[in-house]
Structure 1
Amino acid sequence: MDVLMTLLGAAIVLVGLWDIYHSLLHPSGTGALGGRVQAGIWWISRRTGHRFGSAVGPGSMITVVVLWVLLQGVGWALVYLPHVPGGFTYSPGVDPADYPDVVGALYISLVTLATLGFGDVVATDPWIRLATPLEALTGFALLTAALTWFTQIYPPLSRRRSLALELKFLAEVDYADGIVEEHPVTAARVLDGLAAEVAKARIDFTQHGETYYFQEEDPDLSLAHHLPYALELRDRAVASPHPQVRRSARRLGLALEQLGLKLREDFVSAEETPEETFAAYAADHLRESGR
């Protein structure tokens, strides 16, 4: 039974570390557990009309971090449980008989994970003396990873907001209506710039999938709100008499198709066309206030 308990604890610890690795270090950018938790919170938010707005994204990330802490804390507690209380010494005034073994093991695990080092409980079993520094190292790495995770989401969000503003400004000056008469070099440069930014957005959704669940308070900064205008620009530019503008339009079209494919694969349910995908994307981020 003790061996099974230890193996179960080790398995839980490894599952948590594997999810952290896939969320923060793997090119996929999404862990199986963390991704499901965020998708579940987003589903609840969507069903309530996104009443909590921009708090949903950070809130879902905090929930995932808490999940990682619980997995590590519970996993290591199961490793320690067969050795409580015999494998530890206790400070004067601390009687392990006053607490259930499960509570004692969980306390030891959480204190070690947080690297608090109270010193009221010290491992004496040789194997546990080796395990506790490993958990402390895991706790330090988890804290560092969580802080890094929160800071690395802002560049992708900034790029997405910048693209949304660019599309908004182009729409306000009716750029699509006059693109056929626009100087071909200028028009091609604009389309190529948009294609590059759309490609970056696709990469960001791949490597930082958690940013999908960030609701924009300002509709001007919402890519979901302005992305359909990129399709209109593509369609108008395809009709240009200038070959270089048509080439740039096709390039933009390919970038939009790739972005749509990524959204369909990971976030929205839609048909295969970019038009339907972007409409689903916009609907998924629609709030009751009308956005």
Structure 2
Amino acid sequence: MDVLLTVTGIAIVMVGLWDIYHSLLHPSGTGAIGGRVQAGVWWISRRTGHRFGSAVGPGSMITVVLVWVLLQGIGWALVYLPHVPGGFTYSPGVDAADYPDFLEALYISLVTLATLGFGDVVATDPWIRLASPLEALAGFALLTAALTWFTQIYPPLSRRRSLALELKSLAEVGYADVLAEEDPVTATRVLDGLAAEVAKARIDFTQHGETYYFQEEDPDLSLARHLSYALELRDRAAACSAPRVRTSARRLGLALEQLGQKLREDFLGTGESPEEVFAAYAEDHGRDSRR
């Protein structure tokens, strides 16, 4: 039984570390557990009409971090459990018999994970004395990784908001309506710039999937609301007589298709064409598409 508890604890610890690695270090940018937790928080938010607004994104990330802490805490507690209380010495006034063994093991695990070092419980078993610093190191790494995770989401969000504002400004001046009359060099520059920004948005959704669950309170900054206007620009550019403008339209169309595929496969699970995917994206974020 002791061996089973130890093996189970190590397995839980490794699962948690593996999910942290895939969420923060792997190019995919999404761990299996963390991704499902965030999707679950988003599902709850949708069912409540996104009542919590922009707090959903940070809240989902905090929930994921708490799940990681819980996995590490319970995993290490199972490793310690076979050695409680005989493998530890207790300060005067602390009687291990007053506490259930699992709760005592969980307390030791969480104190070690948080690197608090109260000193009221000290490991005497040689293997536990070796394991405790490893858990403390894992706790320090988890804290550092969580802080880094929160800071690295802002550049992708800034790029997405910038693209939303660009599309909004083009829509407000009716750029698609006058695109056929625009100088081909200028039109090409605008379309190619949009294609590049759309490609960056696709990369951001790949490497920072958690940013999908950030809802913009300001509709002007919502890519979900303004993205469909890029489709109108693509269609109008494709009908232009200038060959270079039509080439840029194809480039923009390809970038939009790739972004739509990413949104469909990783987040929405619905829609075939970019038009359908972007409409579902807008609905998922509680926004009306501008097209």
TM-score bin (small chain): over 0.9
Aligned to 1:231: 231
Aligned to 2:127: 127
Spell out, residue by residue over 1:69-103, the C-alpha distance to the aligned partner (whole angstroms, 9 max, x if none). Answer: 00000000000000001111111111111111111
Q: Is the 8 A contact 1:87 1:125 kept in 2?
A: yes
Aligned to 2:97: 97
Which amino acid in the other structure matches residue 72 of structure 1?
A: Q
SS of corresponding position for 2:272: coil
Q: Give % identity.
A: 86
Q: Is the 8 A contact 2:271 2:280 kept in 1?
A: no
Return 108-117 or 85-94, whichever deviates more: 85-94
What is the rounded CA distance, in whole Å, between the counterparts of 1:150 and 1:287 in structure 2?
A: 25
Aligned to 2:208: 208
Return 278-287 or 151-160, whichever deviates more: 278-287
Distance 1:135 1:171, change over 3 A: same
What is the rounded CA distance, in whole Å, between the counterparts of 2:128 and 2:18 in structure 1?
A: 23
Q: Is the 8 A contact 2:90 2:96 kept in 1?
A: yes
Aligned to 2:266: 266
Aligned to 2:168: 168
Instruction: State the shift of 1:271 in Å.
Output: 2.5
Give matches, 1:168-187, under 5 Å.
168-187=168-187
Q: Is the 8 A contact 1:191 1:249 kept in 2?
A: yes
What is the rounded CA distance, in whole Å, between the counterparts of 2:221 and 2:155 in structure 1?
A: 14
Aligned to 2:13: 13
Aligned to 1:65: 65
SS of corresponding position for 1:42: helix
What is the rounded CA distance, in whole Å, between the counterparts of 1:49 and 1:204 in structure 2?
A: 26
Distance 1:15 1:71, change over 3 A: same
Task: Provide structure 1 residue ranges, at least 5 long, that are not aligned to the other structure.
Answer: none
Q: Is the 8 A contact 2:224 2:287 kept in 1?
A: no
SS of corresponding position for 1:122: strand
1:136 aligns to 2:136 (yes or no): yes
Instruction: State the shift of 1:287 in Å.
Output: 6.0
What is the rounded CA distance, in whole Å, between the counterparts of 2:287 and 2:259 in structure 1?
A: 23
Give matches, 1:12-51, under 5 Å.
12-51=12-51
Q: Is the 8 A contact 2:77 2:108 kept in 1?
A: yes
Aligned to 2:158: 158
What is the rounded CA distance, in whole Å, between the counterparts of 1:220 and 1:207 in structure 2?
A: 24
Instruction: State the shift of 1:155 in Å.
Output: 0.3
SS of corresponding position for 1:267: helix
What is the rounded CA distance, in whole Å, between the counterparts of 2:130 and 2:218 in structure 1?
A: 52
What is the rounded CA distance, in whole Å, between the counterparts of 2:270 and 2:73 in structure 1?
A: 40
What is the rounded CA distance, in whole Å, between the counterparts of 1:256 and 1:41 in structure 2?
A: 27
SS of corresponding position for 1:177: helix
Distance 1:172 1:287, change over 3 A: closer
TM-score normalised per structure 1: 0.98
Aligned to 1:277: 277
C-alpha RMSD of the superposition: 0.9
What is the rounded CA distance, in whole Å, between the counterparts of 2:173 and 2:194 in structure 1?
A: 16
TM-score normalised per structure 2: 0.98
